[in-house]
Amino acid sequence: MSVNYCSVVCLLLCFVSLGFADYLSLDGNEWIATSFNKSIKVEAKVPGSIYSDLRRAQVLKQDLLYEKNDVNYRWVAYDNWTYERTFTVDSKLLDKKNVNLLANGIDTVSSVYINDQLIGKTDNQYIRYVWDVKKVLKSGQNTLRLAFQSAPLYAKQQSEDFLQKYNYKVIPDCPGPQQFGECHAPFIRKMPASFSWDWGPAFPTQGIWKPIGIEAFDSILIRDITIETIPDPKNASQWTLTVNAFVESAPNQQMDGIFDIKLDNNVLIDKQKQTIKSDGQGKAKMMIVIFITNIQIITWYPNGVSDNTQKLYQLNVQIDVNKEVSTQTKKIGFRTIKLVQNPVKPEGLTFFFEVNSQPFYAKGSNWVPTNVLTEDITPEYLRHVLGSAKRANMNMMRVWGGGVYESDLFYELADEYGIMIWQDFMFACSLYPAHNEFLDSVKNEVITQVRRIQHHPSLAIWTGNNENEIALAWWWNNVLNYFVDYRKLYVETIGKTVAAEDPTRPYLTSSPSNGLESQSENYTAKHPDDWRYGDTHYYSDDSHLWDWTTLQSPQDFPPVYRRVRCLTTYTHSECI
């Protein structure tokens, strides 16, 4: 089948993530985890965490969730654990011009050594780290060691340093006493709920929670792909597909690449030559705009919204430089998304989504981490839960801001089942330190995660945080620094980064929020739970949850801050 297209290629400066080259996986059971004083040494598994390793070794003999074991086993989180393994490197791998250690997820604060040489440090669970290790690796046996710091103790030290330097507190210091949790969670970029939540215990993990390995290449690799799909306003069967390929090579290189792009078995770009120029960090962005006219595109819709199924296409992007080929393959869908906020009388704004210009009624739920240890979440379990949501006629799920950015499989299943994702960034029920070092880390986090999941048609909206705007309005509203820090983080850092990385979707600074009305009030509305605008959070903890009639009408619904105050003070009389 032939395709008429016109392509435009642009070169821009960028950041990082994954493609393919020679790859040596360092996952598996060949790791050893050791306590700080070396009194405990156990076999360890990667990906995983120290709690799982100690559980397998029977150092922790009971189930983590049995009775008070969240407290009884807290000593694990207070120790500093070291993960170490040996591995063999073939000399052919070291002959490559570029050799990196690629760590897709490290939880959380660590120093990383190869052959006893420090190659980097980590302090953000949500960042993908890439380090040049060509000069420290050797042919034959090598040693990789990650020396972790206790997450609660690190967070405590960061909190004390912040107070001494800036002379004000980031609040709340600690969760309510009923949670038996850990304090100062805002000072470490790891799953907030791992320090406890009102629905779950504290297990502040340490470990390598995503795949890790050595990658090697000579010329170039594709690290990430993002896309945009735009229909022709005059012909709904014709679409424009924009492909952004984020590539890496050696710094300040200019090379000729040959591009091939396929959509399923349809050739979109055939051996098109382009010049690639990398920046001082070895990064470049290639943007290819393709007009698709002779393929009958089937649009993607949420579950139950259209007779169309959740049609997915396989997009294959390939770059050949000096006969070294790098490829990325993603499943994508063709659809548009719009958040409609139009004025209504006598006062207010609509707040609903349109997919492919068709309004739909969003039905779904809030997704919190399904296990305190991410390594215990199996593909079968994810398929069961999301499949159950589809069969229950759900078409939207909110990935809540106190957990983690979910696995690739989670978003793939959401695509397959037609469940649109309201995606929070991982900030919840707290203020955060908005100094430059923290903001730089958050920017890197946003770039990592947006580029990782942006191509999924199920992804509907980005949101800066969970309940922090309403927290400012109702009980943290007496300190000017809090408002300044809030805007630095959610408007100037996250908002601007999302706009640059993914202009295809709406972004809200918070949930709940008054949407455009909050924006008109400099992103911090006086009443961000106003039913006339935006979204709201409904809580009715003391009602019969299987009785749908307990859901009150908007005019009778109490302000959400009643629940937020309940979360903070933990006095039962305020919760009922």
Q: What is the DSSP string of 461-484?
A: EEES-BSHHHHHHHTSTT-HHHHH
Task: State the pLDDT at residue 217.
Answer: 96
Report the pLDDT value the prediction gives residue 187, as an integer from 0 to 100: 98
Q: Which domains does the chain have, with CATH numbers?
A: 9-19+218-332 (2.60.40.10), 28-210 (2.60.120.260), 362-537 (3.20.20.80)
pLDDT of residue 19: 38
pLDDT at 73 over 70: yes
- pLDDT value at 413 more than 50: yes
**DSSP H or E run through 43:** strand 41-46
Q: What's the mean per-residue pLDDT of the chain?
A: 91
Half-sphere exposure of 94 (CA within 13 A, CB side): 14
d(CA 403, CA 210): 15
Give the number of other CB atoms < 10 A from CB of residue 488: 18
The Cα 245–Cα 325 span in angstroms is 14
pLDDT of amino acid 475? 80
DSSP E strands: which ranges in 389-508?
Answer: 396-399, 420-424, 459-463, 507-508
* 480-527: pLDDT as tens digits: 899 999 999 999 999 999 999 999 999 999 999 999 999 999 999 999
What local confidence, expressed as pLDDT, does residue 479 receive?
81
Kindly state the average pLDDT of the residues 51-57: 98
Q: What's the average model confidence in pLDDT over 161-188?
A: 95
Tokens 């100094």 label which residue? 435
pLDDT band at 569 (very low <50, low <70, confident <90, very high): very low
Give the model confidence (pLDDT) of 209-239 as tens digits: 999 999 999 999 999 999 999 999 888 779 9
* 181 vs 474: which has the higher pLDDT: 181
Q: Which residue has the higher pLDDT, 98 or 537?
A: 98
Report residue 556's pLDDT band, with 50, 70 and 90 as the boundaries.
low
pLDDT in tens, 422-434: 999 999 999 999 9
The stretch 16-34 carries a mean pLDDT of 80
What is the reported pLDDT for 557? 47
**Region for residue 467 given its phi and psi (left: phi exceeds 0; alpha: psi -120 to 50; beta: otherwise):** left
- Work out the burial of residue 572: count CB atoms within 10 Å of its CB; fewer than 13 is exposed, 13-18 middle, 19 or more buried: exposed
Q: For residue 37, what are its two tokens?
A: 């004083």
Does the pLDDT of residue 4 top 60, yes or no? no
pLDDT band at 567 (very low <50, low <70, confident <90, very high): very low
Q: How far apart are CA 474 and CA 530, in angstroms?
A: 13
Helices (H) and strands (E) in the chain, counts: 14, 28
Query: At CA 61, angle to CA 55 and CA 66, rounded to 5?
Result: 95
DSSP 548: G
| Count of other CB atoms within 10 angstroms of residue 37 | 8
Confidence check: pLDDT of 565 > 90: no
Whether the CB-CB separation of 526 and 505 falls below 8 Å is answered with: no
252: helix, coil or strand? coil
User: CA–CA separation, 52 vs 45, rounded Å?
Assistant: 8
CA distance 198 to 182: 12
Q: Work out the average pLDDT over 151-161.
A: 98
